[in-house]
Structures are given as C-alpha cells and as structure tokens.
Amino acid sequence: MNVTDLWSLIPELYLTGLGLLILLVDLFLPQERKSVTGWIAIAGLLLTLIPTVAMLSWTPRTVVYDSYVVDGFATFFKLLVIGATILVILTSLDYFRPGTPFITPFLGEMVALYVFMALGMVLMAGSADLILLVLSIEFVSLTSYVMAGFLKADPKSNEAGIKYFLFGAAASAVMLYGFSLLYGLTGSTNLYVIAERIRQADPLVVFVALAMSLAGFGFKISMVPFHQWTPDIYQGAPTPVAAYLSVGSKAAGFAAFLRTLFVSIHPSGIDWAILIAVLSAITMTVGNLLALPQRNIKRMLAYSSISHAGFILIGVAAFGATFSNPAVLIYLLAYMFTNLGAFFVAMVISTTIGSEEIPDFAGLARRAPVSAFAMALFMLSLTGIPPTAVFLGKFYLLASAIERGLLWLAAVAIANSVISLYYYVGVIRAMYLLPPPEETAIREPRILRTALAVTMVGTLIIGVYPEPFVKLAHLAVM
C-alpha cells in the first residue's frame, strides 16, 4: 500500500476511527448521558460525507493490490449507506431513551455497531476480490445478528437474532461454495482477472457457481427463495435496526451482487438474464401476496421489502438497456427515503401506544397528524403513485424491461403494483377513516419529526425534481 491507496480509503478509515472513538468515549460516560455517543456518531458521519462526495469526480481506480475499487458506483452506495446510518442513529436516540419500553444501558455499543455495520456495507460496495467480499459480507452479517437480538429481555428479539444467524450461516456456506467454483475455474479471486479467464470456462459450471452465489446475495436482498428470515427478523428486531436492515443491508447486497455479476460472470457469455427475470417475477409476487393478510406493520413492511427486491431485480434482468443500471440506483435511493420514513412512523406509534398492529393505527390522523400525513405519503410512494420517489424508480425499471423485450416481466410488475395498493391503502384507511379508540394526542418527538422531515423531503424531491438524482445515477454507472 502507498499514500494514494490510503487517501482513497479516507471514508473507510474515518468510519473505523469513528467506531473506535465511540467505544472509547462510551467507557467514560455516565448512564444518563449515553446519548452523547449518538451525537458524536452523527457528527462523524456528516464529516465522512465530505471526502466521499469529493470522490464522485475521481477517475476510477483500484487500490490495495487491486482488491478494492474506488469509482462512482461504490461512491454512490457509500453516500446511500452513510445517509441511512445518520437517520437511523438519530431515531435510535429517541427509541432507546429513558421512559420508553426499549431503554437500554448499552446505547453506546448500539451506536458503535451502527457505525461498524456501515463500514462493512461500504466495503461490500467496493470489493473487487472474492476474499475481501466474503469478509465484508460476514462482517456485516455478524454485526446484524447482534443488533437483531439486541433487546435481551424481549423473547422476539432473541428469536430474531438466532433465526438470522442460522439462515445467514447456511446462505453464506452455499455462497462460499459458489465462489470456490469461480476460483477453481479461473485460478484467481480478483473479479477483473476472473472476467478475463472465465470466457474459457465450462458454461455449465459457471451457471452452477452463479446459482450458488445467489444464495448469499439473495439472502442479503431478501430474494425468494432466500427470504424466509425477513418477516420474523423485522418483527423481532428493534424497529431502528429493522429499518436499517431493510435499506442498508439491501443496498449493500445489491452493490456487491451487481459488481460480481456484471464484472466477473457476464463475460462468460452464459444467459443469466432469464434466471434473474424469473426470480424477479416470483419475488415480487410472493412478497405482495404474503403482505396482503398481515396485520403487524413491521411484518407487512418486511413482505413489502421482499416485493421491492423483486422490482429492483427487473433492472438486473434488463442489463444493457439504456436505463437499467441507473434505474436500480435511483430505485434504491428512493426506497431508502421512503421505507425508512415508514419505519420511523411505526416507531412513533409503537413507543407511544405499545402496539405495532395496523388496526391500532385507527384515527391516527387526529391523534398524530404529522405522522399520519407522513405515513400516507410513504405508503403512496411504495405503491408507485406519482409524483413520489419510488414512482420514478418503477418508471425507469419498466422502461428498461420493455426496451429489452421483457414485456411479460413488465406486465407482472404492473399487476403487482396494483396488488400492493390494497395493503398500502389499508394503512391509510385505518389512519384517516376509522375512529380513534381515544382522543389523546400521540407524542411526536422532535428528533423523530426531524428524521421524518428529511425522509419526506427526499421522497418528494426525487419525484418532483429528479434531474440531479438521475445525473448522479448515470455518473455512478459510467
């Protein structure tokens, strides 16, 4: 390594130092002042954004013996992950505060885990070597298992942590076997060297390697048939953690999957697009159909998350279309703001009334008008109603599918959007049309209002004024 390599790793070094600093500061803070670690993390993450944004104008390069890539694609996901981490830490300060059922003496450790998980996801986005990619995925996974089971007094949280670990271990084992096949075929773990040598490999073995690798990537992005963990973990984990997993882990999983697929597998010449298209159709359909009967808001958002993974896979299957790659990035950015916002509203309700059941949202418009309006906006955006952010992502994804001749997949996507309208509007109906069980106003903390304001602005501005975000996505995939 040289000085250039170190300068190219400034965001990663910042995150490492920030996580260690939080652990150190937490040792000397009294119990009633643990929230200081959260504000230190937010300040540090905001500082990390400065060199990360500057990297958008850099010439793409590989560092650390060609095992790590610094390019617009990785930088886009770094910005997305850091932004999501800031918002989730901000809301966690209220979720775990004294006076809530979820108060914990280990808030400092939780904040440090957020930062270290962000570091792992950033490394996933830039990994250009299978060994570094596996280490990054396992670093994120192990951190996720701890965070999912963080509420030690809550049996559901304990169950979430154990289930997450068991599913994750099995998926990682299958993925590693797929990676070992790629290494055996090419004699290298570097994605770019694999791309040069895989043209001479047996196409059948390459296809088997891809199918097995999909186990690990599919687990991270909640793709059918590797989705079973999602509803139980989202319901049992602390709500800020569930929110973080729904956007951060999914985005990092797609970043690693796209780079591995397009850089090292695509040059082999095998026809993988039809496999991804079929998985896309199955994933969005299964997610939507299983979301229909849900009464728990977190389980509903979990199945919704599965269906949105299917939508994003449309852009992967339509690789080569004009907007396919930018559409995936735009969709992930739009989904980040929208889905985080939906979880934040669920957080407000669950900490106040002690329930996550959708029927208990009855009359929310009268008891918490800001939260109700925000939730209505997020539900409409997740459906794909203009002029919201997710509508823009769906528009580009459908255009990509049509351009590549995947008309049947576009038809399935449109049908699934109609199905999703039923359960998303069901939440709006409960908030605005059903009578409240009582008239007592629900407390809407200032911290959560701030986070909601950011997610609402993001959800609207991407849909109303998309040009800068479209340019950013195109720059990231050049």
The helix (run of H) or strand (run of E) holding residue 68 is: strand 68-70
Structural domains in the chain (count): 1
Is there a domain that residue 224 lies in?
no
Is there a domain that residue 425 lies in?
yes
Is there a domain that residue 185 lies in?
no
By the 8 A CB rule, do 315 and 328 touch? yes
Query: Checking phi first, is residue 404 left (phi over 0); if not, alpha (psi -120 to 50) or beta?
Result: alpha
By the 8 A CB rule, do 74 and 125 touch? yes
Cα 274 from Cα 111, distance rounded (Å):
42
Is there a domain that residue 397 lies in?
yes
DSSP 235-280: HHS-HHHHHHIIIIIHHHHHHHHHHIIIIIIGGG----HHHHHHHH
Tell me what pLDDT residue 351 has: 79
Is there a domain that residue 418 lies in?
yes
Tell me what pLDDT residue 357 has: 86
Tell me what pLDDT residue 1 has: 60
CA-wise closest residue to 372 among 360, 361, 388: 361
Tell me what pLDDT residue 362 has: 85
Is there a domain that residue 157 lies in?
no
Query: What's the predicted TM-score (pTM) here?
Result: 0.94
DSSP 8-state assignment for residue 442: P
Which residues form the domain of 428? 271-478
Residue 59, token pair as written in the block: 């010439």
Cα 442 from Cα 351, distance rounded (Å):
10
Is there a domain that residue 70 lies in?
no
Tell me what pLDDT residue 2 has: 67
Residues of the chain with pLDDT under 50: none
Cα 305 from Cα 284, distance rounded (Å):
9
CA-wise closest residue to 86 among 474, 450, 376: 450
Is there a domain that residue 46 lies in?
no
The owner of tokens 């852009």 is: 315
3-state secondary structure of 354: coil
